Amino acid sequence: MFHRIAAAVPAAVLGSALLATPQAQAQEFINVLTGGTSGVYYPLGVALSEIYADGIEGARTQVQATKASVENLNLLAQGRGEIAFALGDSVQMAWEGNEEAGFPRPLEELRAIAAIYPNYIQIVADASAGVTTLDDLKGKTLSVGAPASGTELNARAIFEAAGMSYDDLGKVEYLPFAESGELIKNRQLQATLQSSGLGVAFIKDLSTTHDIDIVAIPEDVVTAIGAPFAPAVIPAGTYDGQDQDVPTAAVGNMLITHEGVSEETAYQMTKLLFENLDRMRSAHAAAEAITPETALDGLSIPLHPGAERYYREAGLLQ
């Protein structure tokens, strides 16, 4: 995707049209990179694209469903998106150039817009599988997200910290949220590990039709991983049939852009996000955690100068 695109007119008349109306030569194009349509990134990305279309004069916006964090960061580095959702650990690995994680070189063109809300590692099992602990997963079938996705990188970290590996499982599937939920419904999969905001649609849907267990991730496993992971709790009642708090791990999500986006556009993208939090929260409850006061927490890469300008104006940076 280009940052500036010509107006959509037939090629035969493009040249004369541009000469006749120089003010219409280009539009601001903002491609919002999200995740699968059944996750949290996608509805929040739709809301963000609408906010930008309404608030940035001349902007044309698009929402792109992707495999989420790793793909999003690589697309940004290629100039094929202007803003993207990504997990904090993926951002850190992208900046460092972790080849095993899907980043063959350091993506030093990435820039931060904001830390937004935490993702919770949510391991959901068919109740008939008898899985309530990590150890219970041994010999079971588990979906861990798309290969080298942010979710799958989270899965690897959890298993390593627990002294386990994929070899301990009966079978590993690399599937996104919705497909994993359908396979559990059809008794073709026993459990899935997904990294998402609380109240994710596919687990809500699964829990209304199916008896499930949410698998605990003990605090000592989470602290063994270290930053940017932190111990967290999935509160009782988050999903139907979940009558107790469940300990787990959380890792922060971020909105990321790249250095090729203009300072003014990055400023507007940051400012409009925080001026329209009600619209973001209407799109998904995970956005309740998005605040200007926590937007700089845990950022592992430099701010875009446009975002920095907003935080200075807001008194959040000296």
Q: Are 253 and 119 in contact (CB under 8 A)?
A: yes
pLDDT of 313 reads 97
How many whole angstroms separate alpha carbon 108 and alpha carbon 267?
Answer: 20
Same domain assignment for residues 126 and 190: yes
Same domain assignment for residues 106 and 129: no
Same domain assignment for residues 96 and 32: yes
Instruction: Find the domain containing 232 and state its range.
Output: 119-251
The answer to the question of residue 189 being in a domain is yes
As beta bridge partners, residue 262 has: none
pLDDT of 148 reads 75
Query: CA geometry: angle at 206 spanning 133 and 289, to 5°?
Result: 80
Q: Are 247 and 233 in contact (CB under 8 A)?
A: yes
> Which structure tokens are listed for 213?
């267990």
Which phi and psi (to 5°) does residue 41 adopt?
A: -55, -40
Q: Are 302 and 311 in contact (CB under 8 A)?
A: no
How many whole angstroms separate alpha carbon 129 and alpha carbon 215?
Answer: 11
pLDDT of 38 reads 81
Non-local CB neighbours of 198 within 8 Å, separated by 6+ positions: 120, 234, 235, 238, 285, 286
Domain boundary among 251, 275, 294: 251
How many whole angstroms separate alpha carbon 67 and alpha carbon 221?
Answer: 26
Same domain assignment for residues 111 and 259: yes
pLDDT of 27 reads 75
Tens of pLDDT, residue by residue over 64-119, are: 999 899 999 999 999 999 999 999 999 999 999 999 999 999 999 999 999 999 99
pLDDT of 231 reads 94
pLDDT of 228 reads 87
Same domain assignment for residues 217 and 105: no
Non-local CB neighbours of 263 within 8 Å, separated by 6+ positions: 304, 305, 306, 309
Domains contained in the chain, number: 2
Same domain assignment for residues 233 and 281: no
Place of tokens 């971020």: 254
Same domain assignment for residues 300 and 213: no
Q: How many CB atoms are closer than 10 A to CB 293? A: 8
Handedness of CA 124, 128, 129, 132 (dihedral sign): positive
Residue 300, helix vs strand vs coil: coil
Q: CA distances (Å), 78 to each of 2, 60, 107, 273, 295, in order?
A: 10, 20, 10, 24, 25
Same domain assignment for residues 167 and 234: yes
Alpha helices in the chain (DSSP H): 11-20, 41-55, 69-77, 88-96, 150-161, 177-185, 201-209, 219-225, 263-275, 277-283, 305-313
DSSP class of residue 303 equals: B
- The CATH number given to whatever domain includes residue 31 is 3.40.190.10
How many whole angstroms separate alpha carbon 162 and alpha carbon 181?
Answer: 25
Q: Give the chain's residues under pLDDT 70.
A: 1-26
C-alpha R_g of the chain? 21
Same domain assignment for residues 106 and 214: no
Same domain assignment for residues 53 and 74: yes
pLDDT of 177 reads 81
pLDDT of 220 reads 96
How many whole angstroms separate alpha carbon 79 and alpha carbon 84?
Answer: 12
Mean pLDDT, rounded, of the chain: 90
Same domain assignment for residues 61 and 72: yes
Same domain assignment for residues 235 and 306: no
